[in-house]
Amino acid sequence: MHRIGYLLSEGFQVMAIATQSVFECANVVAGSSFYEIENYSVQGGEVRSSLAMGVGTLPAPTPARSRIDTWMVAGVLDPLSVSTPAAVVAFLRRASGRARRVAGICTGGFVLAEAGLLDGRRATTHWFYARELQQRFPDVRVEDDRIYIVDGPIWTSAGMTAGLDLALAMVERDLGAEAARSVAHKLVMHQRRSGGQSQHSEMLALAPKSDRIQNALDYARRNLNQALTVEQLAEAVHLSPRQFSRVFTAETGQSPARAVEGLRIEAARLMIEQSTHPLDVIARETGFRDRRHMREAFMRGFGVPPQAVRREARAA
């Protein structure tokens, strides 16, 4: 049995405890109670969330009596407006050495940093607060464009739903890739995001208003290795090329060609970071004419060439 303790403080961000569903489904997939989950606070008793919903908690155990394997530390909606209670910081410093791993969910990274658990380590948090985390704690190597980061026994996640990806990665570490895939399927997660994936999504940034344009983007993402002309995209959603271009630009603020390039470089970047495929192969798989064409697109989109992205990923 693997015991997971959620450390909650007053005003904790309610999305943090949504990650418990991942471990709940993992027990179903495993066919046994592999994970045992409890909510804790320093004092015990009812703790109110960011929605003012009360959650009952057990008092945090003394280090000598702690049997927790994984501590999941919840953050708050705005870490700049509140201070981490000294008792929470003191508890984490004592408890971290007896646990297999400690995770900061979303702005929970600030709590881990206060406790000194991130000193000299790579970490991430919600993109909106990443710069502040770096400024407050210069000994932390903050990477503001990651879904989650694992540095030894310390895990940190980006904001909100990224905590689900972190929890799913824990399931994969504990029970294997097939179990993690089954859990993701039960949770109706559209895709399992790896830690190296960017917090920022090109699909989300485009934010089309109609289902037709959304369907065109979905079609494009599924067929990036093709040419994807305006005519082809228009035909996929049963519009004339002229009408499609007009509606697409009105809804997304971009031309179809520019949007498709954004999807290509997003997919190529993910392949570069997570695979060992040669750049020529990645360029071909994501629809670029050749490696040079992909490099030009990367310089426009990211300001760095693909080789720099790969070097950074390997160094990390």
| pLDDT at residue 192, as a whole number | 55
| pLDDT at residue 209, as a whole number | 82
Say whether 221 sits in a helix, a strand or coil.
helix
The DSSP letter of residue 17 is G
Local mean pLDDT, 10-residue blocks, the chain (316 residues): 96 95 96 96 95 95 86 94 92 93 96 97 92 95 87 93 93 93 86 52 69 91 92 94 94 91 90 89 94 92 86 73
Task: Count CB-CB contacts under 10 A for residue 176.
Answer: 12
| pLDDT at residue 86, as a whole number | 95
Structural tokens at position 300:
């426009």
For 23, half-sphere exposure in the C-beta direction (CA atoms, 13 angstrom radius) is 24
CA 65 to chain centre: 33
Q: Which residues, including other chains, have CB under 8 Å from residue 39's CB and lie 6 or more apart?
A: 5, 6, 8, 17, 47, 55, 56, 57, 58
Q: What digits encode the pLDDT tens for the residues 155-212? A: 999 988 899 999 999 999 999 989 998 999 899 885 555 555 555 556 556 778 888 9
| pLDDT at residue 203, as a whole number | 59
Q: CA 230 to CA 236: how far, in whole Å?
A: 10
Tell me which residue of 149, 66, 54 sits closest to 103, measured CA to CA.
149
| pLDDT at residue 202, as a whole number | 62
| pLDDT at residue 206, as a whole number | 72
Domains and CATH numbers, the chain: 2-186 (3.40.50.880), 202-315 (1.10.10.60)
pTM for this prediction = 0.67
Say whether 40 sits in a helix, a strand or coil.
strand
User: How far is the CA of 131 from the CAs of 34, 81, 82, 121, in angstroms?
Assistant: 38, 15, 17, 16
| pLDDT at residue 191, as a whole number | 53
The DSSP letter of residue 139 is T
DSSP string, 41-109: ESS-EEEEBTT--EEEEEEPPPGGG---SEEEEE-BS-TTTS---HHHHHHHHHHGGGSSEEEEETTHH
| pLDDT at residue 301, as a whole number | 82
Say whether 233 sits in a helix, a strand or coil.
helix
CA 114 to chain centre: 22
| pLDDT at residue 294, as a whole number | 95
Q: CA 259 to CA 172: how far, in whole Å?
A: 33
Q: Parallel, antiparallel, or unpaired: how do β-strands 70-74 and 101-105 relate? A: parallel
| pLDDT at residue 193, as a whole number | 55
